[in-house]
Structure 1
Amino acid sequence: MAAEENKKIVDAMYESMNLNQVGAMKKHWTRNMVWDGPAGIGKKHGVEQFEEEVRRPFIHAFPDKVGEDIVRLFEGDWVAGTGFQDATFAHDWLGIPGTGKRVRVRYMDFWRIEEEDGERKLAENFVLIDILGVLEQAGYDVKKVLQFVGSKPPEFFENISTQSQR
């Protein structure tokens, strides 16, 4: 029974997610939810921060995106899923220039569900997003990007961001 209830919770969240509207997720998440994303995006505390700092830029970059799990597993209060978000890369995302072309963004999610105000909701989400795959689809030679990044000390990139702010 718990697995079927958890499936309905995640299915309902996906319906709202695929509307591509900021604010549509609030009814599915606890107020103090934690979204723990990949490097470059980071951890977000609370549904408002998640909506503004994760969803808004993602929807802006990929306005017609549609996400769909291809595998979903259930264990107690946990649900795991992996799949794709297919979309047009319309605008910049994480500093990667939009291309106007279709992309497939791979992801993996682990959600924890808990009760809040008598209703079971998503409370925690560990997320892996294939950012390197997006770079590759945007035309970057990822091997060369990684070799370049790996050949520079972290201070090199701090200097770049400081210089670009001048």
Structure 2
Amino acid sequence: MAAEKNKQLVDDMYKGLNENILGLMHRYWKEEMVWEGPAGIGTMNGIDEFEHVYRKPFIKAFPDKHATDIVRIAEGDWVAATGYQDTTFAEDWLGIKASGQKIRMRYMDFWRVEVDEETGNRKLAENLVLIDILGVLEQCGYDISKVLHFVGSKPPEFFNQIEE
């Protein structure tokens, strides 16, 4: 029963995410939530940081995005899913030049749900996230083997010199 309620919480949260409006996530997430994203994005501590540091530029870059899980499972306090976001890459994101084209961004999420003992309300407390950023680059015309070769051929200090 708890697993089904947790999956429903994630389903409801997706409906809010797919509206692409800031502020809706307070309904589904604890204020002190943690969102652990992939390299290049990092960890967001708290719902306000998640909304304004991560989601705001994401919505700007992908204003019509729509997430669809192809697999969603739940066990105990955890819900996991994998799927894709179909979207238009409208504005630059993470230093990647926008293509103006439709892309499909793959993802994998693991959410931990907490139940408020006083109210019985379920809220998302933690999210471990993988986003296929290399797949985004590839869809924007980058030759991934050359990107990886270039990155691998340079010492870390090289990238500290690059101006944003």
Does the TM-score normalized on the shorter chain lie above 0.5? yes
Give the equivalent residue in structure 2 for 1:11: 11
Candidates 136, 139, 146, aligned match of 2:141: 139
Count of residues in correspondence between the two structures: 162
Q: Which of 147, 150, 158 is residue 148 of structure 1 equivalent to?
A: 150
Match of 1:25, SS? Answer: helix
Q: 2:79 maps to which residue?
A: 79
Paired-residue identity, %: 63
Of the structure 1 ranges 125-134 and 152-161, higher mean CA displacement relative to structure 2 is found in 152-161
Whole-angstrom distance in 2 between the partners of 1:8 and 1:150: 42
3-state SS, counterpart of residue 161 of structure 2:
helix
For 2:74 and 2:37, the matched residues in 1 are separated by 20
1:7 deviation in Å?
1.6
Matched residue SS, 2:135: helix
Deviation at 1:4, TM superposition (A): 1.5
**Runs of 4+ in structure 1 over 2 Å off:** none
Pairing 1:38-49 to 2, within 5 Å after superposition:
38-49=38-49
- SS of the residue corresponding to residue 98 of structure 1 reads coil
Structure 1 segments unaligned to the other structure (5+ residues): none
Tell me how far apart the structure 2 counterparts of residues 53 and 39 of structure 1 sit (CA, whole Å): 15
Taking structure 2 as the reference length, the TM-score comes to: 0.96
In the alignment, the residues of structure 2 paired with residue 137 and residue 114 of structure 1 have an alpha-carbon distance, to the nearest angstrom, of 37
Normalization by structure 1: what TM-score? 0.95
Counterparts of 1:7-156 in structure 2, within 5 Å, are 7-116=7-116, 118=119, 119-156=121-158
Secondary structure of 1:39 counterpart: coil
Point out where structure 2 has 5 or more consecutive residues left out of the alignment.
none
Q: Which moved more, 1:111-120 or 1:74-83?
A: 111-120
**Contact residue 7 and residue 73 of structure 2 kept, 8 A:** no
Q: Deviations over 1:11-63 (max 9, x none)?
A: 11000000001111111000100000000000110000000111111110000
Provide the aligned C-alpha RMSD in A: 0.9
Q: CA deviation at 1:94?
A: 0.3
Distance in 1, Cα, partners of 2:141 & 2:127: 30
How far apart, in 2, do the equivalents of 1:49 and 1:150 lie? 31
